[in-house]
Amino acid sequence: MDYLAGLNPQQRAAVENTQGPAMIVAGAGSGKTRVITYRVAHLIEKGIDPFNILVLTFTNKASKDMRERIMKVVGAEAKNIWMGTFHSVFAKILRVEADKIGYPSNFTIYDTDDSKSLIRSILRELQLDDKLYNANFVYNRISSAKNNLISPSEYLESAEIQSEDISNKRPLLGTIYETYAKRCFKAGAMDFDDLLYKTNILLKTHTDVLNKYQQKFKYLMVDEYQDTNFSQYTIVKKLAAAYQNICVVGDDAQSIYAFRGANIQNILNFERDYPDLKVYKLEQNYRSTQNIVEVANSIIANNKNQLEKNVFSDNETGDRIKVQRAFTDNEEGKIVAEAIIQERTSKGYNHNDFAILYRTNAQSRAMEEALRKLNVPYKIYGGLSFYQRKEVKDLIAYFRLTFNPSDEEAIKRVINYPRRGLGDTTVEKIIVAADKHDITMWEVICAPQQYIEGRIANQLNDFSMLIKSFAAESKKLDAYETALYIAQHSGILKELHTDDSIEGRSRYENIQELLNGIKEFAEREDIEDKSLAIFMQDIALLTNDDRQDDKTRDTVSLMTIHSAKGLEFKNVFVVGLEENLFPSQMSLNSRTDLEEERRLFYVAITRAEKKLTLTYATSRYRWGTLTNCEPSRFINEINAKYLELEVVKPTKSVLGNNSFDSERRTWSQQREAPSSSAPSKTPVQRPKTTSILPKAHVPTPDFAPDMASAFQNGMEVEHEKFGFGKIVSLEGNLPDVKATVFFQGLGNKQLLLKFAKLRIVK
């Protein structure tokens, strides 16, 4: 078989051994996707029915790429594999089995905005303070409960959870969760977390359904297993229980989604669940130079909690990793922009060979300004998705109502758009009537005379007849014809067409683009059902990571490191490598959090193929205050022989007035070199040191942090790392009080007291 010939021995062993539990530990750039696709192709070549194979991924793009690769080996049979994201696969199963858990098969899938809108409605109805019960916080709390398979009743009955909510002055979180779940159920809607949570309920309460899918999915493969949460872990374990032909693929060193509920223990403890496990380690990195791989290895070696592996590269040695120090974040942006221009000019790279990666989205500002000033084209990833734009969501809300008129959030979104005399007061009356009679908003709208007093019955009747007409047309027309009919008869096209402003024209063009996408869907030959309902299912399951690859535009990529996972670029700049920024200040309270930050840095480094540059600033504006910064501890964790420092000095340039000359040193030379936090003609002489970081403060032996509520202006305090200081000011309310503390030798630092771990001295 030719496809096996190009595999190295470790890859080939992982592909050929298809029976029983297996774990493929795939280091960065080690050909993981090739191994997964060839392993599936090998199963089919051995006579396994593709209908009995389930492959779970974390992005639609990953599953699409894999399917295309498998088709090149086994042909059209690849279309019969059950392959997709966790959410798309189990949404498909839930639509078949929905009646068993009381849902309609045409249930709506709420996105994050829909969920938060519903939560805000519930907060208003319960007359709760939306600052204390912030919709984002409540949403994340509910999401966390579902991902840990905690039902509303279990949440309310848990003494530990209730005690925690009461201590945080949010005792009604359980009531909100319970109300939210009931409202979603009444609206025939599931949110993203429900697609997994309800699948768990389905498999737990209906053993016949569990047995059906255990027999169907005799072979399971899970990509990026280190990113699975408890809910995903439980589903996979149940489905694999009958045959145990489960293969998980991942890299514990790239587990960076704990904030989404990902549990690194799932991969670290996989052998505990499957004692007969076979482990295959893919350790050869085909992507990066030897120096980049060695730098990544020296960083991740500092993590104690990891699977042992020895990643190596046979590629060229490559350049040392450049470390550049700037005096401000704006200067950091200019350094990076000029370096891109210089590298393109000298090496002939395209703009899309470069990526600028940062820890937080806020850091993009300085980079954008610098790139714009030098006319360097760029694109920011992670901005507003096309499907999140208002006008697109408005039309999609009409689509949703066409197939599920009980959809409460869709009703609220378009009942008065375009305007038809059904404003907020009417909506409130509908909600009150629906709650009073325990029926849906749609049932009230369809029989307004029975439930609402006043003169709005005619408008409500017209609205209900409009939606019913859309449903009738959808049964006769394909996706595009239905969508166009709804866009025209809802009044949205007319509304936007009459808006002559630049914004109005842009919104009209976005609607046209949506219709174009539906037209393309309706003309596809690889799908049988070309209805708008199927199109809606597809777009509802798009993930944030399903970015459109825009190969036609030659632009520098700007993105957070989380967004960059799975991508690769010839030249990578990792910016903002400063303490309290990267690693994040909130990660410094525990080894677990700090190790996740280190894994995030590892991911950033391993995006680079040819050249890697690390930058930091000695001062940066944070929360409106210019703050002195110290280099990230991560820089010092890198073996100095792989690094080269480039100290920048302001000078004139043909590219602009504020440019930089540079003086190259090895990192060992930097550790003995004069240093300064601001440009100076006469360098400040400093004693020699073995580290670029200041000597760490040794806390007093009886150090114990005080409660956030105990601090006052003027108090002298001690910090475990920064030493002794004085509180200059306090801002905000508990529990989110922010303190500005002056530390000797470090200047002012702003700290959130609930994370800072300060001790009152006097």
Residues acting as catalytic residues = 32-33, 223-224, 254, 607
580 sits in the region (left: phi over 0; alpha: psi -120 to 50; else beta) called left
Question: Do the beta carbons of residue 144 and residue 195 sit within 8 Å?
Answer: no
DSSP result, 96-165: HHGGGGT--TT-EEE-HHHHHHHHHHHHHHTT--TTTT-HHHHHHHHHHHHHTT--HHHHHH-HHHHHHH
Q: What angle do CA 501, 112, 144 make, to 5 degrees?
A: 160
Q: What angle do CA 545, 549, 550 make, to 5 degrees?
A: 140
Residues whose CB falls within 8 Å of the CB of residue 281, separated by 6 or more in sequence, listed in order: 10, 24, 25, 27, 309
How far apart are alpha carbons 302 and 598 in whole angstroms?
8
Question: What three-state secondary structure class fits 431?
Answer: helix
Beta bridge partners of 557: 355, 379
Give the C-alpha distances (Å, rounded to integers) separating 33 from 10, 15, 40, 65, 566.
Answer: 14, 11, 11, 9, 10
The tokens of 285 are what? 């990195």
Question: Residue 664 CB: number of other CB atoms within 10 A?
Answer: 11
Question: What three-state secondary structure class fits 253?
Answer: helix
Nearest residue to 719 (alpha-carbon basis) of 698, 748, 733: 698
> 112-125 vs 173-186: helix axis angle to the nearest 10?
120
DSSP result, 697-722: P---TT--PPPGGG--TT-EEEETTT
- H/E stretch holding 664 reads strand 656-666
CA 635 remoteness from chain centre: 25
Q: Which residue has the tokens 């005792």?
A: 171
Helices (H) and strands (E) in the chain, counts: 33, 23
Question: Do the beta carbons of residue 245 and residue 278 sit within 8 Å?
Answer: no
How far apart are alpha carbons 518 and 522 in whole angstroms?
6
DSSP result, 617-661: ESEEEETTEEEE--B-HHHHTS-GGGEEEEEEEEEEETTEEEEEE
Question: Do the beta carbons of residue 568 and residue 607 sit within 8 Å?
Answer: yes
How far apart are alpha carbons 650 and 659 in whole angstroms?
6
The tokens of 629 are what? 């910064």
How far apart are alpha carbons 550 and 548 in whole angstroms?
6
Question: What three-state secondary structure class fits 286?
Answer: coil
Question: Do the beta carbons of residue 306 and residue 253 sit within 8 Å?
Answer: yes
Q: Which residue has the tokens 């709005």?
A: 456
Q: Which residue has the tokens 């409130």?
A: 428
How far apart are alpha carbons 538 and 283 in whole angstroms?
36
